[in-house]
Each structure stands twice: as C-alpha cells, then as structure tokens.
Amino acid sequence: MTVWKPGLFAAALAMAAPLAATAQEVLTIGVRSEASSLDPHWTQLSADLQVQEHIFEKLVALDSASQPIPGLAVSWEPLDETTWEFKLREGVKWHDGEDFTADDVVFSFDRLRAGISGAPASPAFQLEKGRKMWEKIDDYTVHITTDGPYPTVAEDLAMLPIVAEHVASGVTASVDFNSGQAAIGTGPFLFEEYSPGSSISVVKNPNWWGGDVHWDQVVFRPITQDASRLAALRNGDVDLIDYPPTIDLPQLREDPDFTVSTIAADRLIYMQPGYKHVEPFITDKDGNVMVPNPLRDWRVRKALSLAINREAIRDRIMGGASLPAKNIVPPGFFGYVDGLEADPYDPEGAQALLAEAGYGDGFNITIHGPNDRYINDARILEAVAQMWSRVGIITEVDAMPRNIFFSRLIRGDELSMPGFDVPEFSMAMTGWGTVAGEATYTVSGTLETYNAATGGGNGNFGRYSNAEVDARSVLAKRTIDPEARLAILQEAITIGMEDYAYIPIHFQVNNWAMKAGLEHQPRTNERTLAMEVKRVE
C-alpha cells in the first residue's frame, strides 16, 4: 500500500486536516475498472482519467455533454490564422499552496513533448497535431501557435492535464504520482491514499477555485465483476456504481431504494480489422496463414458487417442500452452524417459477398478484445464470433484483461520499436470516445493513416490507409469555417465507413446506479465525477 507521507507534504495536509476531523460526507464509488496510474500524462484510459480529474485540471474543461468550457483558462481566442491566446485563471493555488501560473502550463507541455518514458498511451500526440508550439507571454497568458490554420486547438487541449513544475520536475513518471509525492494538482480534491487492488481515496480541497463540493472524502473501490458491484450497492458497501448489469436495469428503476441515471454515450464499440499483407491470426481451413490477408478486400469487411445482428446484441445482451451504428460519432455531435445507418443483418448477403471476393469456403480468424473494459464486452465478442461462424468465417475468441489487451493492441507486434508502434491483432473489438463533441478528433485518430510524427492515426490500430480520407482529415484540421469543416468531415467519415475501414457495432448508453437520495449528472464520456453527485432531500 502506498500512502501520502505527512513529512513530505505538511502544507497540503494542513489544508486537509480539518476535513479529517469532521468528515461526515463520504462518497464511496464502486468502479468496474481500477485506475492504473495517477500520472495524468501516462495513459488515456477512462478509468485513470476519471480519478485524475478529481486532482488535476486542464486549460479547457468539458461539460457533461463533452462541450468545451473554461477550466484553468478563462478564455481563448485566435489572434491570427496560426496563433491562439489563452488567458489563465488568476488566484488558483496548487494543493500545497503555491500559485498556478503560465510556467506550469509550459512545463506540462514540455514534459509531454519530451516523452514520458514507459508510458503506454500518453496524450502527447495532441501537441503534434498542427505542430503546436507554446510561449509564455506573462504569468497568466500563453500563446499556442500552429504551422497553419488549426481550428480545434481548444478541443485538443481538453486532453492535456496541467501538472505543477515545482512538484513534477525530475520525478519518476507514474511511480511518484501513485505514491502521492507528485499528485498535487489544482482540482477539487487532494490525493489521500492509493492502495492498488483495494481503493483510491481523495479529500476535499477547501481552497478550490471552483467553490465548495459536496463530499469531504471520495473513495473509489474497484469491483470488476458486474454482479459483485451491484451486490455491493445493494448491501450498502458503496453508494454509487458505474456499469450496472444491463439485465438488472429494469428492476433497479422500479426499486424505490435506488436511482438510475442514463445518458447516450460518445463511446463507439467497433471491430478493428488488421491491414498487414499477412495477418497472424487469419488462416485457411487447413490452418495455413493466408496471403494476401483477406481483410484487405472491402467486400470481406462489408460481409463481416452484414453478418452482425446489431439489434440482437442491443436487445439480448445490452438490455436495450445501445444504439446500433455506422456513424463514428453519435447524433448531435459535430460531424454526424445523416443517413449513414447501421447495416441490416443480412447473412445471405454476407455469404454472397464472400463468394464474390473468392472466399466462398470461408476461413478461420481469432478475434481479440477486453473482458473488463466495455459494457458486456466478452459477451459481445462471443456473439460476434457465433454470427461470423454462421456465414463460414470460423471465429475463435481470445478475451483478456484490459491492461494486457490494450498493450498488445497498440504495440504488441514484435516489429514495434520506440516511436513506431505496430499493433498485434488481426481483428480486435475496441472502443473510441469522441472528445469535445468534435469529429475532427475521431477522424484524425481512427481513420487517418498512422503517423507518429504528426499524431495522425494515433487510434488507427489496424493501420488502415486511404489517401482520400487523409486529404480530408488534414484539410479539416486546417479549416476555420465550421460549415466548411463539417462538410469535409462528413465526406471523410462517409468514405471511410463505406470502405469499412472498421466495423461499427453500436454506441453505448451509459448507466449509473446509486442509493436513493443521491442525484447524479451523467456524462457522455462515461466518467464518474464526484463533483457531479450530490444529496437531494
């Protein structure tokens, strides 16, 4: 167990000490996935981010609908086509009482650009998009410049937490944050204790610039099994849980002892084909690796899409809590394409396409995915495998814990090297959330050709490449006029999805269950924030 040592942070503890004596208001949250790191530059996993966001803040925050709002920056505006000015919030204190200034912003961006040694999925790529540079103008003004017009600077910065220069300089990445030594932010809560496998706790920051919060202490308890997490809620061991079992939602909604909050999510669940000339997890019926990889033929990818019964997954597995999809951003988000509807279930059409492509006899494939990250992820994998096997693609499933899965998904191939990631899997089920309600981020991240130097394709784990999509993605990132940018993004999305760059299954619908007497503002990005939970009379 790692604990914040009193001798190291006397000033910050002194701020929190009165709370310890009178901590009547404690919120215990049962979470499906445990945070693996409190270093806000270490990963992009939601389980990590939702805990970090209690401690650290960004220049640009997001509201519950994923729209940009002021955070540590009170305003931002373009000065010309390549320069944005961010005015910082004055009077903000770090948890140890030191002043927050532009020096901390510059240090944070410098730390990210230098690279975080060992980080599995740092958000540093956001700085490479547009080749951003930064300059301190005065203590409360920062200029961000790009190598050309770049309209979504603010949305990109909503991904980049700010750390304290006087604390984080020279620390060991992740390790010193998890110990509490470097876990000093400006947010509404202060680090208290991190006990891996057991809990993470934070306590109220009485000097938070955003005002009072409802809880003196918040405890995050990882409970990976859905049934066990619901039992903990029913038994009173926790006050609120994320991802309640979908099968139990109707009963919970009828039970006066509990409340359910719901919101359509920005999280797309999809199947990601691998595009290497030869893929290791695809063989013919005799077990021989196939050359070329059949997934490189769009007709095969479309056949696999037609073979998925999305309505059955929604009704029988998700308890109605999903939106079958072919779009890559949900309705209401910037870039949504009207008329781009989920493929119908058409196994006969799938078999006809396979025959047309020369694979009428089918082949064998192994699909990979997590078993503890997304709602009913392992069950969805098994369902897809059965559906594909029915049309002649004999499919096996290899589901694994999320930390292992994402490591292998991103850079698991033996050809990976520093600065150049090579994904391992031939077909994987994964998810992607659209930050700041803006499809530019998702098109660039998941459809653009992978380029570590520019940050393009940072989430393109199959290494899909389409020059028509790339041209539009790059152009969208340089188009200031929102109507023109919208049209460009919709073209890119339509091209990519008609080419079956990947195979959308559905958008999740996020649910939380809690004790009666609590009120919760749900978020499209699925994070559980204590600041958005309060007691009601």
Question: Is the same domain home to 74 and 168?
Answer: yes
Amino acid in position 459: G
How far is the C-alpha of 176 from the C-alpha of 170, rounded, in Å? 10
Q: 123 in helix, strand or coil?
A: coil
> Residue 522 domain-assigned?
no
Question: Is the same domain home to 272 and 205?
Answer: no
How far is the C-alpha of 317 from the C-alpha of 340, rounded, in Å? 24
pLDDT digits (tens, 9 = 90+) for 466-486: 999 999 999 999 999 999 999
Q: What pLDDT score was predicted for residue 11?
A: 40
Amino acid in position 59: L
Question: Is the same domain home to 315 and 442?
Answer: yes
Q: Domain ends where: 166, 190, 222?
A: 222
Confidence of residue 7 (pLDDT cuts 50, 70, 90): very low
Angle between helices 347-356 and 298-306 (to 10 degrees): 160
Question: Is the same domain home to 208 and 283?
Answer: no
Q: What pLDDT score was predicted for residue 403?
A: 87
Q: What are the contacts of 10-17 at 24+ separation with CB within 8 A?
A: 11/96, 11/97, 12/95, 12/96, 12/97, 12/184, 12/190, 15/95, 15/97, 15/190, 15/205, 15/206, 15/207, 16/190, 16/192, 16/203, 16/204, 16/205, 16/206
Question: Is the same domain home to 154 and 28?
Answer: yes
Q: What pLDDT score was predicted for residue 537?
A: 74
Q: Domain ends where: 194, 222, 250?
A: 222
Question: Is the same domain home to 97 and 176?
Answer: yes
Question: Is the same domain home to 197 and 269?
Answer: no
CA-wise closest residue to 38 among 53, 27, 28: 53
DSSP character for 139?
T
DSSP one-letter string for 206-228: TT-TT---S-SEEEEEE--SHHH
Question: What does the H/E/C string look like for 429-488?
Answer: EEEEECHHHEHHHHHHHHHCCCECCCCECCCCCCCCCCHHHHHHHHHHCCCCCHHHHHHH
Confidence of residue 264 (pLDDT cuts 50, 70, 90): confident
> Residue 27 domain-assigned?
yes
Are the C-beta atoms of residues 440 and 155 closer than 8 Å to each other? yes
> Residue 232 domain-assigned?
no
CA distances from 514 to 28, 235, 302 (A): 10, 12, 41
pLDDT digits (tens, 9 = 90+) for 444-457: 999 999 998 888 99
Confidence of residue 151 (pLDDT cuts 50, 70, 90): very high
CA-wise closest residue to 105 among 86, 77, 131: 86
Question: Is the same domain home to 160 and 31?
Answer: yes
Confidence of residue 10 (pLDDT cuts 50, 70, 90): very low
Domain of 97, CATH number, reads 3.40.190.10
How far is the C-alpha of 39 from the C-alpha of 54, rounded, in Å? 12
How far is the C-alpha of 337 from the C-alpha of 356, rounded, in Å? 29
Q: Domain ends where: 190, 222, 254?
A: 222
Helix or strand holding residue 134 (H, E): strand 133-138
Task: Please state the domain count of the chain.
Answer: 2
> Residue 156 domain-assigned?
yes
Domain of 310, CATH number, reads 3.10.105.10
> Residue 432 domain-assigned?
yes
Determine which of 12-21, 444-453, 470-479, 496-505 has the lowest per-residue pLDDT on average: 12-21
Two tokens at 136?
Answer: 């301190």
Question: Is the same domain home to 339 and 459?
Answer: yes
Q: What is the pTM assigned to this prediction?
A: 0.81
The pLDDT mean for the chain works out to 93
> Residue 405 domain-assigned?
yes
Question: Is the same domain home to 67 and 190?
Answer: yes
Q: What pLDDT score was predicted for residue 435?
A: 79
Q: What pLDDT score was predicted for residue 18?
A: 46
> Residue 202 domain-assigned?
yes
Give the total residue count for the chain: 537
Question: Is the same domain home to 268 and 181?
Answer: no
| Residue 331, domain extent | 264-509
How far is the C-alpha of 436 from the C-alpha of 434, rounded, in Å? 7
pLDDT digits (tens, 9 = 90+) for 391-437: 999 999 999 998 899 999 998 888 878 778 899 999 999 999 997 88
Are the C-beta atoms of residues 517 and 535 closer than 8 Å to each other? yes
pLDDT digits (tens, 9 = 90+) for 184-222: 999 999 999 999 999 999 999 999 999 999 999 999 999
The more confident residue out of 480 and 369 is 369
Q: What is the mean pLDDT of residues 126-142?
A: 95
> Residue 281 domain-assigned?
yes
Question: Is the same domain home to 164 and 17?
Answer: yes
